[in-house]
Amino acid sequence: MINKKAKFIVGSVLIVSAIAYLISAGISSTSQYFFTVDELMSQKASYAGAGLKVKGTVVDGSIIRDPNDYLKVNFSIAEKTSNLKVVYQGVTPDMFADGREVVVEGTLTKEGVFHANTLLTSCPSKYEAEKEAGKMHPGTLPGYESKETVPESPAASPKTTI
């Protein structure tokens, strides 16, 4: 009887330990630091090569596309006092433009260039303001009015007999 209890306890401890290890290994391998441009530039030497997410605003006139490879884009993002040069290879979102707020995910080189593998844009704040004010309903277009009429009751509909 004691032998069965000991086997059960040892087996339970092994299973719980394995699950805890898998959870901690998964979290540590997928976790990324999230910074603004100013925060990252103040301590960039300590995060070179680490997975990072950085939020900033695209500097006006900084977007340069490679003429030989249209998917390669160089641009800068800024905050109050700092600029960060970003290199991105991939399809850019439709809303990617000068002055837009973006979040880039990738790694920072020792030279201070950020190599992004993901580029996300934020929706303009005017859409959020309109949504909060009730001016737009999800799935509708501004300035569009439906011309569809809904019958008031089933009796109002014409009946067809065969």
pLDDT number for residue 42:
81
Does the pTM surpass 0.75? The reply is no
Side-chain-facing half-sphere of 51: CA atoms under 13 Å: 8
Domains of the chain: 31-129 (2.40.50.140)
Q: Is the pLDDT of residue 159 over 80?
A: no
Beta strand 51-58 with 33-36 is: parallel
| Cβ atoms < 10 Å from Cβ of 147 | 5
Which tens digits make up the pLDDT trace of 73-111? 999 999 888 889 999 999 888 888 898 999 999 888 888
Tokens of residue 112, six digits: 């201070």
Q: Is the pLDDT of residue 1 over 90?
A: no
